[in-house]
Amino acid sequence: MPDWQNLSAETVPAYLASVPELAGRVDVGALEPVVEVGDGNLNLVFVVRDAHGASLVLKQSLPHVRTDPSWPMTRERSAREALILGRHQAIDPGHVPALYHFDRAHYVLAIEDLSDHVVWRGELNAGRPHEYAAAELGRYVARVAFGTSVLGLDPLEQKRVVAAAVNPELCEITEDLVFTEPYIDHEHNRVLPANKADVDALRSDRELLREIGLLKFAFMTRAQALIHGDLHTGSVFVRAAGDGLPASVRAFDSEFGFYGPIAFDLGAVWANLLLAAARSTALGDDARAAVLLAELPERLWRAFETELRALWPRRLDPRVWGDDMLELLLAEVRHDAAGYAAAKAVRRIVGFAKVSDIETLDEGPREGAARGVLRAARGLAVLRNDDADVARLSAAALAVLRGTATR
Ligand code: SR1
Ligand code: MG
């Protein structure tokens, strides 16, 4: 029996031939050369095409962090991703790749090939914002929030899914990398020498640390919905409308998902728009920065709110979940989203797993961009307690970016 535990471009054709469930997806007798395209921190990703134009993607988890083989990582994350992707697909098929099959024995997901899409982060870096993506992600988060929470899912079934989706090891990574390590001395952290004082300021800011502590506690305890868990712009495929096809936005790589706070995914998108805006500001493109930060987080939020309001009449227990509760729930999610945006932005500047938006800047502009993100994030985390309006918080963040830019 061949060893399929570590697939390679060379072994994928024979592997595919051994999986009857995938027999109709591609013609294994007429495959084009398989290409490994994984560029994330964790997994192998193979694009498989046949001579007739059919294709699929195989994603296999490695038993360690791809970018750091000394860091072990459970392969059970594949089963959790298959569960999450399957659930999200059932609720909102237009916003995720289709899941064709999951091979539990070999930790391989077979999913839809979205090669006609591009990763949003790369597009943002190249100055192509794909503005429509923000609202699509807002709708996706709302549909998942409603459809996987007790608002829309039978409570007995919901508890079974909560149990199946427990994701301790990957949650621990998020708890460490997002909520703890940036605020302590840790070997994962790295900043420019010129930004060391900015990090020191963060760590001695009691008000900020209190908010981060509350956010970490909520992340670890608020099992509201089966969230994506890592919804940064590198986890989003976009395809602009054209050639008779509509625009398309798909969230992929949900292996960090679990039953957590609804606001976490919104905060992740908002944080990455802040990072993209910091890049634009650093490159002297204030107009683009304004679109990215003064407009898109607001569009994200409006779409989320509108979709959740539209779904609300279908809630399962209107006897006690009245319209007044919806208002309070929305206010809580909006407040938390600003906090999670802050935490998710800080981690990309200080800690492990940085982002190309900032890292590919020259040192001169990178210094100011990093400083701007840290100070803007601090504002999001703290100012939200006085006024959690997404547009006003984002406008304040944009002003901070402009005030800290260096060349
Ligand atoms: C060790 S994994 C590092 C990061 O990559 C993923 O995309 C998550 O954001 C995680 O925190
Ligand atoms: Mg990922």
Of 86, 111, 136, at which residue does a domain stop?
A: 111
Judgement on whether residues 251 and 390 belong to the same structural domain of the protein: yes
Are 65 and 207 within one domain? Answer: no
CATH assignment at residue 78: 3.30.200.20
Distances (CA, A) of 338 to 40, 65, 129, 146, 264: 26, 29, 21, 20, 9
Whole-number Å distance between alpha carbons of 207 and 22: 54
Pocket of ligand 1 contains residue 136 by CB under 6 Å:
no
| 227 Cβ inside 6 Å of ligand 1 | no
In a domain, 3, yes or no: no
| Site of tokens 């100011």 | 368
CA distances to 49, 345, 371, 397 from 376, rounded to whole Å, are 44, 9, 8, 5
Is residue 107 located within the same domain as residue 122?
Answer: no
Q: Letter for the amino acid at 35?
A: V
Q: Relative to the CA of 41, which ligand 1 atom is closest?
A: 5
d(CA 383, CA 373): 15
65 pocket-lining for ligand 1 (C-beta < 6 Å): yes
Answer yes or no: is 7 within a domain. no
> Based on the domain organization, do 309 and 384 belong to the same domain?
yes
Cβ of 343 below 6 Å from ligand 1: no
- Which is the closest atom of ligand 1 to the Cα of 177? 11
Cα–Cα distance measured from residue 83 to residue 258, given in angstroms and rounded to the nearest whole number: 10
Atom of ligand 1 nearest to the CA of 235: 7
* CA 161/CA 165 separation, integer angstroms: 6
Ligand 1 midpoint to CA 271 (Å)? 15
Place of tokens 């809580």: 332
pLDDT of the residue at 32: 98
Predicted pLDDT of residue 1 = 58
Q: For ligand 1, atom 8, which residue shows the shortest CA distance?
A: 230
**CA of 352, closest atom in ligand 1:** 3
CB atoms < 10 A from the CB of 356, how many?
A: 15
Burial class for 26, CB neighbours closer than 10 Å (0-12, 13-18, 19+): buried
Q: How far apart are CA 331 and CA 344, in angstroms?
A: 20
CB of 124 shorter than 6 A to ligand 1: no
Pair (123, 105) in one structural domain:
no
Centroid of chain to Cα 407: 30
| 338 domain residue, yes or no | yes
The pLDDT tens digits for 176-186 are 999 999 999 99
Output the six-digit token pair for 326: 């919806």
158 lies in the same domain as 179: yes
88 in any annotated domain: yes
Q: Give the residue from 81, 111, 141 where a domain finishes.
A: 111
Q: Are 59 and 109 in contact (CB under 8 A)?
A: yes
**Residue 249 structural domain:** 118-404
- For residues 146 and 258, membership in a common domain is answered with yes
Residue 26 DSSP class: S
If asked whether residues 346 and 255 sit together in one domain, one would say yes
The residue whose CA has the least distance to atom 11 of ligand 1 is 174
Residue nearest to atom 6 of ligand 1 (CA): 41
Cβ atoms of residues 315 and 152 within 8 Å: yes
Query: Ligand 2 center to residue 319 CA distance, Å?
Result: 40
Q: Out of 59, 66, 175, 230, give the residue to mutate to test ligand 1, the one with the largest number of ligand atoms within 8 Å of its CB.
A: 230
Q: What secondary structure letter does DSSP report for 30?
A: G
Domain boundary residue, one of 111, 144, 161: 111
> How far apart, in whole angstroms, are the C-alpha atoms of residue 82 and residue 360?
33
In a domain? residue 26: yes
Which residues of the chain, if any, have pLDDT below 70? 1
What is the distance in angstroms between the CA of the first residue and the CA of the last residue of the chain?
A: 59
User: Which residue is closest in CA terms to ligand 1's atom 2?
Assistant: 41
Question: Is residue 163 located within the same domain as residue 236?
Answer: yes
Atom of ligand 1 nearest to the CA of 178: 11
Say which ligand is closest to the CA of 65.
Answer: 1
Distance between Cα 20 and ligand 1 center (Å): 33
Q: Work out which ligand 1 atom sits closest to the CA atom of 174.
A: 11
Residues 195 and 295 in one domain: yes
Distance 386 CA to ligand 1 centre (A): 31
With a 6 Å cutoff on the Cβ, whether 173 touches ligand 1 is yes
Q: Between helices 296-311 and 390-404, what is the axis angle to 10°?
A: 160
Within-domain flag for 2: no
Residue 263 lies in a domain: yes
The answer to whether residue 54 sits within a structural domain is yes
Pairwise CA distance, residues 133 & 240, whole Å:
9
Residues bordering ligand 2, an ion, CB closer than 5 Å = 40, 253
Residue 2 is predicted with a pLDDT of: 74
- Residue 393, pLDDT score: 98
Q: Are residues 129 and 268 in the same domain?
A: yes
CA distance 384 to 301: 15
Q: Is the CB of 177 under 6 A from ligand 1?
A: yes
Q: At 323, which amino acid appears?
A: D
Give yes or no for residue 290 CB within 6 A of ligand 1: no
Going by the DSSP 8-state scheme, the letter that residue 279 receives in this structure is H
Q: How far apart are CA 79 and CA 9, in angstroms?
A: 22
pLDDT at residue number 108: 98
- Domain of 196, CATH number, reads 3.90.1200.10
Ligand nearest 62 Cα, by number? 1
- Four-point Cα dihedral 271, 277, 279, 284, nearest 10: -160
- Say what the pLDDT of residue 14 is: 96
Which atom of ligand 1 is nearest to 253's Cα?
Answer: 7
Helix 323-350 / helix 390-404 crossing angle, nearest 10 deg: 20
**3-state secondary structure (DSSP) of residue 64:** strand
Beta strands in 82-206 (DSSP E): 99-103, 108-111, 118-119
Q: How many domains does the chain have?
A: 2
- Shared domain for 244 and 182, answered yes or no, is yes
